[in-house]
Amino acid sequence: MSGFTRGPALLFCPADRPDRYAKAAERADAVILDLEDAVPPGSRPAARDALVASALDPLRTIVRVNPAGTAELAADLAALARTPYRTVMLAKTASAAQLESVAAQDRLGLEVVALVETAAGVLAAGEIAAHPSVVALMWGAEDLVASLGGTSSRFRDGRYRDVARHARSTVLVAAGAHGKGAIDAVHVDLADHEGLAAEAADAVASGFAATACIHPSQVAVVRAAYRPTADDVAWARAVLAAADGREGVFRWDDQMIDGPVLRHAERVLGRIR
């Protein structure tokens, strides 16, 4: 099981909007201060200054930095060194080798959330997840499709296209294979709370540790989806109670109960907040 515990609702906040930092941190389980796509290049120096001047909870703060091999990343890491924040999200992670630019900051002891959002990154998801600096993987649909020369990650009815579903599953499995957390991509249709709720419910059932949000209104939807229902909790407690003192497979309430089912029940109780 992953040790990534900053979810379930992670809220992006542009790093050039320090007036929003505290509100974002209050509303979500963790805030992602974004120095990359959310900030125009000309505003990034001021955004870094705002980052340095901020005073959020380091355990609930993630800083999205620019891609490896860019001068922007070097400037981001220099600013980060002047803060207490030690969890970074590396944008457009395409290989394990790219993680070395962050891992080289040994004195900072940085933990990395690798954002896998290109075709190369999806192909390298396993080696990325295996890197010792990585604590979680997140996937991104829109940049992925753009890297393939496509124009849309979803059908008109809101369903992901097969290529996006493949990337989502690949990142989840790669993260799980190496004991790292997996973070589900943002839902860009802000008005579609029903679609977000369905995706978040699927995410938690599939094994994602968290879902990223781009608007405060999405936080409550994600939290509700990750929170087990009263029926879920009652089932989990009853199954575990029935297993007490038993070994191997047994029948309970017309269900076959074995080790994996017991682990499912434990996961349900672990999500109680």
- Say if residues 33 and 62 touch (Cβ distance below 8 Å): yes
106 annotated to bind ligand: no
Spatial separation of the C-alpha atoms in residues 168 and 208, rounded to whole Å: 10
Spatial separation of the C-alpha atoms in residues 236 and 160, rounded to whole Å: 31
Q: What H or E segment, with its residue span, contains residue 257?
A: strand 255-257
Of 111, 77, 75, 118, residue with least CA distance to 94: 118
* 137 three-state secondary structure: strand
142 annotated to bind ligand: no
* 89 three-state secondary structure: strand
- Say if residues 123 and 147 touch (Cβ distance below 8 Å): no
Dihedral sign for Cα atoms in the order 118, 120, 121, 125:
positive
Of 13, 29, 12, residue with least CA distance to 210: 29
117 annotated to bind ligand: yes
- Say if residues 215 and 190 touch (Cβ distance below 8 Å): yes
Q: Which two tokens stand for residue 33?
A: 């201060």
Of 175, 272, 174, residue with least CA distance to 230: 272
Beta strands in the chain (DSSP E): 9-14, 30-34, 61-65, 87-90, 111-116, 134-139, 181-184, 210-213, 250-252, 255-257
Work out the burial of residue 242: count CB atoms within 10 Å of its CB; fewer than 13 is exposed, 13-18 middle, 19 or more buried.
middle
Residues making up the annotated binding site for Mg(2+) are 117, 143
Residues in binding site: 64, 117, 143
Question: Which residues participate in the annotated binding site for substrate?
Answer: 64, 117
